[in-house]
């Protein structure tokens, strides 16, 4: 059963007047496989709201969902239903962000690596939507900064994502690999290998990214490999 059919069934169980946010409330204490539904609704719900952050929803921003998620022709109606419900929901983007964070964070416990990574996966999808029209509006930046804060991600993580997607934003290869600027080549190599491993489709699916969204890893791997090659070049020079 596809992710879209599962979400559509969850939406069908809503009572009159309930919005997409109610699905989150039911998923929060659900089994681990439901995290993939939480991921998908999270990207769509926040993406639908961010698409309006700069005051204009463009075709490019809507079309970006097709680049993030593989949607089979027979599932287009279900996917459209989720997106339209997200656009109509009166819940603010910060309320959605908190619900998503609660789905992956265990209250009173530190954020584990896989949970942190899936929140980064969601933020990456949102950056793709923000940049779909070729511009990075200040209101989109403010939106993403606040979502990142609610997710509990640090400033360095946000800088890496902004540098990856926004033309002209600073890009530090050591930041990309999460290591200190004076790290040795061996430390950089280990960090690069671990980052590549974290971006493997099997690892992403295991932590809650649906198979329909594995394309998210493509751009990340390009950035990770570019960072490693730049560090190697600096040492060789």
221 compared with 45, residue with greater pLDDT? 221
Distances (CA, A) of 187 to 65, 114, 121, 160, 233: 36, 21, 24, 18, 15
- pLDDT bucket at 224, cuts 50 / 70 / 90: very high
pLDDT of residue 162: 92
Distance CA 40, CA 230 (A): 34
- pLDDT bucket at 17, cuts 50 / 70 / 90: low
Cα distance between the two ends of the chain: 53
3-state helix, strand, coil in the chain (%, to 5): 70, 0, 30
- pTM (2 d.p.): 0.81
Tell me if 19 sits within 8 A of 82, measured CB to CB. no
154 class by beta-carbon count within 10 Å (0-12 exposed, 13-18 middle, 19+ buried) = exposed
- pLDDT bucket at 190, cuts 50 / 70 / 90: very high
pLDDT of residue 230: 92
Over 60: is that where the pLDDT of 237 sits? no
Please, what are the domains in the chain? 3-169 (1.10.3680)
Work out the mean pLDDT of the chain and round it to a whole number: 81
Quick one: DSSP state of residue 71? -
Distance CA 6, CA 142 (A): 32
Rg of the chain taking only CA atoms, in angstroms: 18
Work out the average pLDDT over 56-66. 67
Distance CA 49, CA 44 (A): 8
On the CB side of 81, CA atoms within 13 Å amount to 15
């Amino acid at each position: 059963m596809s992710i879209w059919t599962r979400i559509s069934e969850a939406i069908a169980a809503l009572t009159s007047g309930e919005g997409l946010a109610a699905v989150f409330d039911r998923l929060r204490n659900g089994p681990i496989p439901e995290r993939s539904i939480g991921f998908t609704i999270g990207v769509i719900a926040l993406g639908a709201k961010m698409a309006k952050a700069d005051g204009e929803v463009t075709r490019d921003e809507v079309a970006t969902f097709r680049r993030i998620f593989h949607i089979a022709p027979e599932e287009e109606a279900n996917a459209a239903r989720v997106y339209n419900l997200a656009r109509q929901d009166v819940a603010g983007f910060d309320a959605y962000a908190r619900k998503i964070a609660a789905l992956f964070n265990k209250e009173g416990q530190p954020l584990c690596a896989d949970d942190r990574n899936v929140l980064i996966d969601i933020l990456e999808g949102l950056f793709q939507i923000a940049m779909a029209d070729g511009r990075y509006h200040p209101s989109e930046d403010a939106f993403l900064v606040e979502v990142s804060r609610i997710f509990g991600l640090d400033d360095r993580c946000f800088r890496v994502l902004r540098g990856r997607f926004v033309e002209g934003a600073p890009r530090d290869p050591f930041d990309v690999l999460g290591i200190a600027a004076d790290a040795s080549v061996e430390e950089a190599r280990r960090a690069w290998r671990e980052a590549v491993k974290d971006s493997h489709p099997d690892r992403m699916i295991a932590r809650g990214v649906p198979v329909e969204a594995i394309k998210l890893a493509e751009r990340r791997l390009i950035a990770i490999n570019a960072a490693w090659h730049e560090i190697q070049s600096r040492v060789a020079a």
